[in-house]
Amino acid sequence: MLARSRALARASRNLSAAATQPRIVPHRTPLWVPSGIVVRSPAMAMAASRRFHAGSGKYGKKHREDSEKGHGKKKKLLPPPTEYPPPASEFKPVPYDQLHPVTRAWIDHFFSMDSSPDPFEKRWNELPDEQKVDMVHSMMQVVKFHQLGRDPAGTLKNWLNNMLGGGTAPQQRQSKPSEEGKQGKEEAKEEESEQQQQQRSRLKPGQELGPGGPKIDLTTAILLTLAAWGILRFMVPGEQSREITWQEFRNTFLDKGLVEKLVVVNRNRVKVYLYHDATKAAYPDSPAANPNFHYYFTIGSVEAFERRLEEAQNELGIPSHERIPLAYKDEISWTGTILSFAPTLLVIGSIIFLSRRASGGAGQSGIFGIGKSRAKMFNQETDIKIKFKDVAGMDEAKVEIMEFVSFLKTPEKFERLGAKIPRGAILSGPPGTGKTLLAKATAGEAGVPFFSVSGSEFVEMFVGVGPSRVRDLFAKARKNTPCIIFIDEIDAIGKARSKSNFGGGNDERESTLNQLLTEMDGFNTQDQVVVLAGTNRADVLDKALMRPGRFDRHIVIDRPTMEGRKQIFIVHLKKIKTDEEMDYLSGRLAALTPGFAGADIANCVNEAALIAARQGAETVKMLHFEQAIERVIGGLEKKSLVLSPEEKRTVAYHEAGHAICGWYLQYADPLLKVSIIPRGSGALGYAQYLPAGEQYLMSVNQLMDRMAMTLGGRVSEELHFDTVTSGASDDFNKVTRMASAMVTKWGMSKEVGYLYFEDDEQKLQKPFSEATAQKIDAEVKKLVDAAYDKCMNLLKEKKSAVGLVAEELLRKEVLSRDDMIRILGQRQWGHSDEFEKFFKPRGESIP
């Protein structure tokens, strides 16, 4: 107290001298200047207006008086609503009467802040849509601060919990009080599910809906932390400082007795702490009056500074007991502190990164969530738009699968008769036939939650992960009963268990299968959970998985028939712009695509649209569809592959031999088109045949005619050239496989008899003896020779016709069925009515 009173006395004595003598006093620009306010939105403008209108100073009072004079009466300020409006992401610029009630209340609160007398509805409707959106976004920022002011601890706790991915999210809306009993619980459950759906729709990629709301990813958490730190620094300013020189320190502060103490920091910097009351009296405008402000200056060495300070105090005549206290201190800057933690942070970040990689990507809780199921849950109202009407070409499969839908919709209809819901169904069939599409349509029709997962997602390098994911999947499903689980490619985990396991590599897969068997039909299987599974290899699945009680239904989805293909084409052609008659177009395309699956048909229709767009056509025409079919079957035309004249002539006669055999053999498929343009599949020529309707049985005569037609290319080369080429290798492969099947599978050889031998390349030993193998080889050669003789006799008889077709091919490169009729006349053997319906010239009637 004695030192402070003396400092005040010395400061008062030197005020006059200090006023006349020049002094160097640091001056800071004010942090806030009213004229520098930048209004960026209507909400910010009203907030800035409120800052002055509601003030208690002269400016606020004067402004209120002017406002009252200009408008005649004082405008009532509406209090802020107690409820919080929906998120800004859900806002749409609609008229005033269509706004959400809570949003409208907040807008009225903002409009009541200024002095405009216009009604709130008129002012809102006159705003452009951009300003409405800006105003709502600014309003949401103010709402957050209102929430923080009403419950700071709870709000900060919820923010922290959300960043960490747990806890409960802040209540954004107050739910309406529900009625007592079962109805109230159902309403609360529906409202909670709606809020979860809205939160899920607002998720960004990489985020997951946690127990209490969306989990914030690492980037967002870092940005929120930095923003909170900035707000904290703004609300509670830190220590402020400014550098001065030794001369400024002595002339301005030391000589006037304003220095309270000095602190030497890190032996190179001196902090100056002043008597704030005396400094404020001596320098009213100086920032040194702020308790958190200090000056500092740099020194070269501590010894030199101590010597100069002692000399200065001796010159001022300061007694030894009133000398300025001098302290020493070592400090570390924020940068140094962060760098010191950098290795630790790097190690922690590496662990988090590796755990996320090990867990298979975002959405799991790092390494601790590796045992959680990765099944994606689809909402039946928003996520699944596919219905049974969108699935064509599989009427029988839809009839079987619709029983599941009926049970899930009206279970009481079956339960009153004592029936139980089937546990599951296996959808098997060739690739592309629509197994997954049918499962989606089932979920869309049933109106229940739908869990979709791939069989390979249960297989992991860690022991026990597969069974854990199976348990977690069924646990989630039981919480959402009734529901459907669809496991695609179930053969990844459902293969038959081997009796002896040599290497032990399948233990994990078998454990996963055992857990799946237990979950589907064990002690805890009373819930309405239907399991659908799709596979292309139903023959390799475990028998325990296929038994009734687990997969009760085995639904085979085969390639569609001609009528099924027509229905599938109609579904896909709805999206295509074409002027063709839909019934004729779908029927002709169905006849042109025997053996096509649903995926092949979708690819064909899309390819036709691409070809039409590439050629600049206004609509997709029949020619584009035919080119697309050729593109899918034979590959892309290789116009850049130029053949020599000799090679081109050889290919022309080769394809002419096929065409003549198909035209004159009774049981051969009728020719539709023949071309000598090379294609991407490796073929130098291309011939398209059309089966006469759907055939499910093949006779010996049909097989022999097909083999003879397949050999027509090589026989034609032998008849017209001195030597043969290697172009018939694929034909020989087809003939050999066809003849081998006739002998070993179809019982069409008297020497071998009625035996069946399965071809299994994995087996090292054949299922027949060497003597039987010799008989099989002899019978196969006998059949091929018979087909060869039949083809040779035909082409010798029609040698001139082969020449005509080959020369026409050399001239036009592509011949259609009409060209063949023009050259050779009508085919002796008639076609089916279905063939004539779509391939006779338009306008002609079928005889």
Question: Which residues belong to the active site?
Answer: 655
Residue type, 275: Y
DSSP codes joined into one string, 165-230: T-S----SSPPPPPPSSHHHHHHHHHHHHHHHHHHHHTPPTT--EETTEEPP-HHHHHHHHHHHHH
What is the C-alpha separation between 628 and 634, in angstroms, rounded?
A: 10
Closest among 402, 443, 398 to 422, alpha carbons compared: 402
What is the C-alpha separation between 218 and 607, in angstroms, rounded?
A: 43
Q: Which residue has the tokens 């809020």?
A: 195
Residues shown for the chain: 847
Residue type, 100: H
Angle CA 214–216–219, to nearest 5: 160
For residue 631 the two structure tokens come to 């593109």
For residue 604 the two structure tokens come to 């064909």
Peptide bond into 482 cis (omega under 30): yes
**CA distances, 449 to each of 220, 408, 439, 473, 528 (Å):** 31, 11, 12, 13, 12
Question: Is 15 in contact with 284 (CB distance < 8 Å)?
Answer: no
Question: Is 809 in contact with 815 (CB distance < 8 Å)?
Answer: yes
Looking at 711-797, list the stretches that DSSP marks H as alpha helix, in order from N- to C-terminal side. Answer: 712-720, 729-744, 770-797
Encode burial over 350-364: b for 16+ CB neighbours within 10 A, e otherwise. Answer: eeeeebbeebeeebb
Q: How many other CB atoms are found less than 10 A from the CB of residue 538?
A: 19
Strand boundaries in 218-331, DSSP class E: 240-243, 259-265, 269-274, 293-298, 326-329
Quote the crossing angle between the two packed helices 770-797 and 729-744, to the nearest 10°.
130
Q: Which residue has the tokens 């397949």?
A: 710
Question: Is 266 in contact with 331 (CB distance < 8 Å)?
Answer: yes
Pairing of strands 376-378, 424-428: unpaired
Question: Is 303 in contact with 267 (CB distance < 8 Å)?
Answer: no
What is the C-alpha separation between 628 and 473, in angstroms, rounded?
A: 43
Looking from the CA of 64 toward its CB, the CA atoms found within 13 Å total 17
For residue 744 the two structure tokens come to 């070993």
Question: Is 173 in contact with 86 (CB distance < 8 Å)?
Answer: yes
**CA distances, 623 to each of 3, 605, 627, 835 (Å):** 106, 12, 6, 18
Give the DSSP H/E element, type plus range, for residue 134.
helix 129-150
For residue 142 the two structure tokens come to 């103010």
Phi, psi of 779 (to 5 degrees): -70, -40
What is the C-alpha separation between 577 and 589, in angstroms, rounded?
A: 16
The SS3 of residue 601 is helix
